[in-house]
Amino acid sequence: MILLEGRSALVTGAANGIGRAIAERLAAEGARVAAVDIEDVPDLGPSVQALRWDLAETESLEGLLDAAEAAVGPLDVLVNNAGVFEPALAIDLTLASYRRVLAVNLHAPVFLASRAARGMIERGYGRIVNITSVHGRFGEELALSYDVAKGGLEQATRTLAVELSRHGVLVNAVAPGFVSTRMSVVDGKDELESEWFTDIYVKHGKIPIRRYAMPEEIAEHVAWLGSERNTYTTGQVLTVDGGLTVTF
Ligand SMILES: NC(=O)c1ccc[n+]([C@@H]2O[C@H](COP(=O)([O-])OP(=O)(O)OC[C@H]3O[C@@H](n4cnc5c(N)ncnc54)[C@H](O)[C@@H]3O)[C@@H](O)[C@H]2O)c1
């Protein structure tokens, strides 16, 4: 079963972690992929074109779409995956950090969706998938700007779906829980290998599946939501967290 034969896709944050797994998966499903990152994207095969771009430069995002479409053709699929997390207590939050986190995690996805949707509407087909987080619904210490951005992106997913679905453009979000990427490394320590993670989340079953996820397990759902096999799901947040958010 090939999900994306002949389709063109843009994936942000494709140099590492979940975005890289998504770019690889979409290419394996037959798509031509523009793989965007502020860092060098490794060689992910002949159907993946790397594009170096700083998504925090909100004014430049229409230029990014032009460059992506020049590389892979008119876009059928947009995956807003790039994200940054900058830990700070609420009382210590700096304006520069708040602006950066909001620019990458919220403003870029919203403007890329807005502008990519114009061409998708003209062609009568499109799929937009936003990568949010369980932080879209739950708060955590040190995560004010990240939580604000992810909550905003989940609401953007719903409102975009309300406006775009009638034109054949379906918009959804995938909200991961704990995933093994460099984002789980805080101050040089991988929190997924810590004693507290093993104790609370694994041994005591706060994550019912009793392990963290691998990036490919998130990409699996993005590939389906981003394909024409998805005909009737729009405006939804698919939580892929091993059951984390159904326990207390
Ligand atoms: N790892 C997790 O546990 C987890 C959980 C929930 C949600 N997420 C979300 O998944 C997405 C991917 O995160 P990840 O865990 O793979 O982290 P990651 O750090 O491995 O990947 C994020 C990518 O975004 C890129 N990026 C950051 N700022 C950018 C900018 N200004 N312009 C262009 N690219 C930029 C980075 O260079 C990097 O390649 C993020 O949106 C993150 O919030 C991750």
Average pLDDT on 93-120 reads: 98
pLDDT of residue 187: 82
Alpha carbon separation from 108 to 61, 94, 211 (Å, rounded) = 7, 20, 31
Alpha carbon separation from 83 to 31, 99, 131, 132, 189 (Å, rounded) = 23, 13, 9, 9, 19
pLDDT of residue 202: 98
Atom nearest to 80 CA in ligand 1:
41
Alpha carbon of 82 to ligand 1 centroid (Å): 4
pLDDT greater than 80 at residue 1: no
Average pLDDT on 115-131 reads: 98
Domains present along the chain, CATH in parentheses: 8-177+213-241 (3.40.50.720), 182-212 (no CATH)
Active-site residue identified among 98, 125, 146, 201? 146
pLDDT of residue 46: 97
pLDDT in tens, 154-207: 999 999 999 999 999 999 999 999 999 999 998 889 999 999 999 999 999 999
pLDDT of residue 18: 98
Residues with CB under 6 A from ligand 1: 13, 15-19, 37-39, 53-56, 81-84, 104, 131, 133, 176, 178-179, 181-184
Rounded-to-integer distance, Cα 203 and Cα 130, Å: 31
Instruction: Tell me the two tokens of residue 121.
Output: 């509407």
